[in-house]
Structure formats: structure tokens, C-alpha cells
Amino acid sequence: MPLDKWNPLKELESMRKEMDRIWEDLFPSRKPEAAPWKRQPATPEQATASPAIDIIDRTDAIVVRAEMPGVAKDDIDISLQDGTLTIKGEVKEEAGQKEGNYTYSERNYRYFARSLNIPFKIKQDGIKATLKDGVLSVQLPKVVEEQPRKITVDIS
């Protein structure tokens, strides 16, 4: 069985085809002849984005930071139920702010949602959330459990 000479261009072509396939799976084209550069409208279920998060485990609390760009504080919903923290937010269409005839606009609606399992007991009444510069910070104070106490035995 003869060995084939390695061809790096063949490898690049194979990789390009695989990337095209992945891209098509993520963003299937619908009527590309109408406007090939335009995203097609999606339902809220299809338009859900999962925000990037940081989780910081401190001795007294868990801090979750989530990117929520453009989301107003009134449009954020945070819930903690059965050890699952759920963060939701949406950017609504700006009604009544037309500045002329738009040729194209993708900035009308976004929906963010993320759920995380929290493996600690949390004080429900001490949860705090702040929104600054598009980053949501949720502080979840841990329930302080009694540490095992060591009892010394006196020998008499």
C-alpha cells in the first residue's frame, strides 16, 4: 500500500468545509437570494443567548457576575429555587424612536437566560443584585453552619 504525500492545502480545504458545515448548522440560511447579509427574525425561544458568567466562591458568599449588555434593570429577572439560580433579561425594541428610514437593523430584541446549580445553602433574604456597565452582579450569602466543636478530655 503506497503512502500518500501530505498536502497541507488539502488539510486546509477539509477544515474550511467542516467550518462551513458548523456555521450552516448554527445559522441556517433562509432565502439567501432576498438579502444574503440579513439575519432572519427569530422567535424568543430561538433568540435566547446565554450570557458569559464568572462565579466567585468567597468564604461567606457566592458571587455570580453575568454580562447583560443593554438590559435595563427593570427587564432583569433573578430567581433562586431548589438550589438553581436563574438569570433572565431582555432588550426590548425601542418603540417610537425612528430616526428616518432604516435600511437594516439587528438591534431590536435580545433575550438572555442562564441557569446555574448552586451547591451551597443560601440565605434567601440576604441576596443582593447590582447592575453596572452591563454587568450584573448577584451576591448569594452562604448559610453559616456550625463547625464541629472539639471537646478536650481532662485526665484526672
pLDDT at 29: 61
Q: pTM here?
A: 0.59
Write out pLDDT tens, residues 120-151: 889 989 999 999 999 999 999 998 876 677 77
pLDDT at 131: 94
CA triple 146-152-156, angle to 5 deg: 155
Write out pLDDT tens, residues 81-121: 988 999 999 887 665 556 667 666 666 677 888 888 888 88
| Phi/psi at 12 (5° precision) | -65, -40
**CA-based nearest residue to 35, from 106, 117, 130:** 106
Write out pLDDT tens, residues 9-18: 888 888 888 8
Strands (E), the chain: 48-49, 53-57, 61-67, 76-81, 84-91, 110-117, 128-132, 135-141
Q: Where are the domains of the chain?
A: 48-94+108-141
For residue 46, pLDDT over 60 is answered with no
- The structural architecture, per CATH, of the domain 48-94+108-141 is Sandwich (2.60)
Region of residue 41 (left: phi > 0; alpha: psi -120 to 50; beta: else): beta
Between CA 108 and CA 97 the distance in angstroms is 11
Between CA 156 and CA 154 the distance in angstroms is 6
Other residues' Cβ atoms within 10 Å of the Cβ of residue 140: 21
